[in-house]
Each structure stands twice: as structure tokens, then as C-alpha cells.
Amino acid sequence: MNEVLLKVENLKTYFFMKRTIVKAVDGVSFELRRGEVLGLVGESGCGKSATALSIMRLIPHPGRIVDGHIYFKGRDLLALSEKEMRGIRGKEIGMIFQDPHNSLDPVYTVGWQLSEAIMLHAPKKMDKKSILRKVVDILGKVGIPTPEDRHRDYPHQFSGGQKQRIMIGMSISNVPDLIIADEPTTALDVTVQAQIIDLMKQLKEEYNVSIILITHNLGLVAEMCDKVAIMYAGKIVEIGGVEEVFYEPLHPYTKLLLKSIPRVDIDMPRLEHIPGSVEGAYEIEEGCRFYPRCPMAMDKCRDTLVRAYSKGDHIVYCHLYEGGEG
Ligand code: SF4
């Protein structure tokens, strides 16, 4: 089995608002091995992006990481100086954001922007020719046609799909160990989405890079990921291998999520919806945050701390599984 590349332990990231504290990430733990792809899934506002930004140590004010550890290649990222972190971001950990239209600077050519990313982390000074060679090579690798000409073009001269390809190129320019892709296909057309997914799969094979894929698209998870973590209101409620979680879901929230999307592999008479909203769930301190919406809720779910129950690598946080039953 491959080595553990990333180990997140009891991570807590809170946002200190004027009147309240939003516990956006509240005790999140998981592991990612080299070459593995983890899907981080959940409704909007459940803490997926806050978890990713915490790993990059890019949480904006008024947010703050208040507790936990993030071990990357054995080093706790939370113990590093800002200068040390700058050496890791973009080099050892790459990030792909949701909206490629706003991720590139409109006043510089894409070649210039790529060369900046390359030079920032180059082990030694590179001459202009080698940088250009590398820029053209990366653009070609991510499927930009005639890269030897197009590196001179500006972002507005590329389509949305091409811009996302360039962003992916930027994230792999220094051959990182980990890529965090935050909804990388959401802003793109369906046909372009499929091309981007193919590209990411191909690069994963080529570089054996680990990926955290943040998405609310369960189809994407089924296609790309080895394991999946389901998040709800700042907490992971279920985590395990994709097949186990999809075919034998344990948590009531996961079950409802799976029933709310159309599937062709099983007979589905009708799609379900999850009643209520995540609003107010963050205020629940001791009990289960899914309690107000859970069709299986019991009295103790309201105020009793939920523990982890595991079946091998498949872990669920729910009182239904206390003592192994459920
Ligand atoms: Fe539902 Fe209780 Fe399980 Fe929460 S702990 S998901 S409320 S059964």
C-alpha cells in the first residue's frame, strides 16, 4: 500500500463573525495516500472549500484554524512559517479553482503567467529558452492546440474549457504531490466537463499525483475517486471506499443524497429530496447536526455527542450504529 501523503487530524476552522462563531470545519479527520483520489462531497456551505483552504493555509479573515493538525509528507503544515508555506503552495500542493475565468490575470499572456509559476519554484535559475520550452510543453500536455503560438495569447482569447486546462497546467507545472481541485468543472459546459475529467485522470496516471476533488457531483466522484468523504455542516459524517459508500451507504444523509440523484445502475422509481436546509445546523453543539432533517432521528441524537463507528475503512458518525447494530 502506498505511503500516507496527507493526514488531517481533528481540524477545526472557525469564522469569527460580529455576533456569532461559524464552525465551518469542526473536527475533520481523514487520510490520503500517494496516488489516491478523495472526493469531498456535500451541499453548498457544508465546509468542503473551507477544509481545502485550511490545508493550503489560505483561510481569509475573519476565519482562523483554531485546532488540529495537517500532516503533509510527515510535516505539520500548521507548524510551518508563512515563508515555508509559500514554498509548498504551487510546488508540492497545487490548487485548481472553480472559476477559470477569474483565475487568470487578463493583462498578461498565458505564457507569461505559466512562466511565473515555473520560475517561482524552479530549483535553479532557468534561461529564457528552457522556460519557454517548458511553457509550450505544459500547454501541449493539457491539450491546447499549437502551443508554440498560443502561449503569446491573452486569457480572453481562450474558451472557458481551455482556460481551465491552462489552470490545470499551472497546477502541474512543478509536478506537485497533491492537487486540490475545488469544483473544477462547475463553471463549464457538460461536454467540456468530460474533457477536463479525462485530462485530470490522464495526469493522475502520468504523475501519480494525489487529488482531493471537491464537488457536489456524485457522478464525478464515481468516475474519478478511490474514496469519498461526505460532509455535513462542517463535519465528515461518512467516509470510505467509493464502492462501499455508494452501494452500502450507512449514514441517513448519504442515503438521502444518493436517492436524490438519477442513477442508471439501479431501479429508481422516483427521486427523493432532502427536506429542510442546513441553516441552523452549525449551532448544534453536542448532538448530531443532521438531527433536524433526519428521518431516523432518535431523542438522544439531539444532545449526545456522535462517535465514529467503523467497518474496516468505512467509517460513519451516527448513533444508529452504536454497538455495531444499525
Ligand atoms: Fe439521524 Fe441520529 Fe444518525 Fe444523526 S445520529 S444521522 S439524527 S440517526
pLDDT tens digit string along 58-88? 999 999 999 999 999 999 999 999 999 999 9
Answer whether residue 142 is part of any domain. no
Q: Encode pLDDT of 196-213 as tens digits.
A: 888 888 888 888 999 999
CB distance 237 to 253 below 8 Å: yes
Please indicate, yes or no, if residue 316 is contained in any of the structural domains. yes
| DSSP per residue, 141-179 | HTT-SSHHHHTTS-GGGS-HHHHHHHHHHHHHTT--SEE
Q: How far, in Å, from the CA of 19 to the mean position of ligand 1?
A: 29
Per-chain mean pLDDT for the chain: 90
Residue 227 belongs to domain spanning: 4-92+176-321
Give domain status of residue 238, yes or no. yes
Residue 264 lies in a domain: yes
Whether residue 143 is contained in a domain is answered as no
Residue 37 pLDDT more than 90? yes
Which residues make beta-bridge pairs with 182?
A: 214
Domain with residue 240: its CATH number is 3.40.50.300
| Highest mean pLDDT, choosing among 87-91, 187-191, 264-268, 314-318 | 314-318
Q: How many domains does the chain have?
A: 1
Atom of ligand 1 nearest to the CA of 295: 1
Of 296, 221, 302, 228, nearest to 263 (Cα)? 221
Q: What cell numbers appear for 69 in the block?
A: 493538525
In a domain, 108, yes or no: no
Q: How far apart are CA 126 and CA 250, in angstroms?
A: 53
- The rounded Å distance from CA 321 to ligand 1 centre is 10
Q: Which range has the top average pLDDT, 140-154, 158-172, 274-288?
A: 140-154
The grid coordinates of residue 116 equal 511565473
What pLDDT does residue 326 have?
A: 43
Question: Is the model's pLDDT at 325 over the cut of 60?
Answer: no
Higher-confidence residue: 43 or 83?
Answer: 83
- Residue 265 CA to ligand 1 centre (angstroms): 27
pTM exceeding the 0.85 threshold for the entire prediction:
yes
**Residue 99: other Cβ atoms inside 10 A:** 16
The whole-number pLDDT of residue 59 equals: 95
Position 266 confidence tier, pLDDT thresholds 50, 70, 90:
low
Residues 6+ apart with CB under 8 A from 29: 8, 9, 10, 11, 236
Pocket around ligand 1 at a 6 A CB cut-off: 251-252, 288, 290-291, 294, 296-298, 301, 306, 318-320
Q: Is residue 220 in some structural domain?
A: yes
Whose alpha carbon is nearest atom 5 of ligand 1? 318
Query: Do the domain assignments include residue 211?
Result: yes
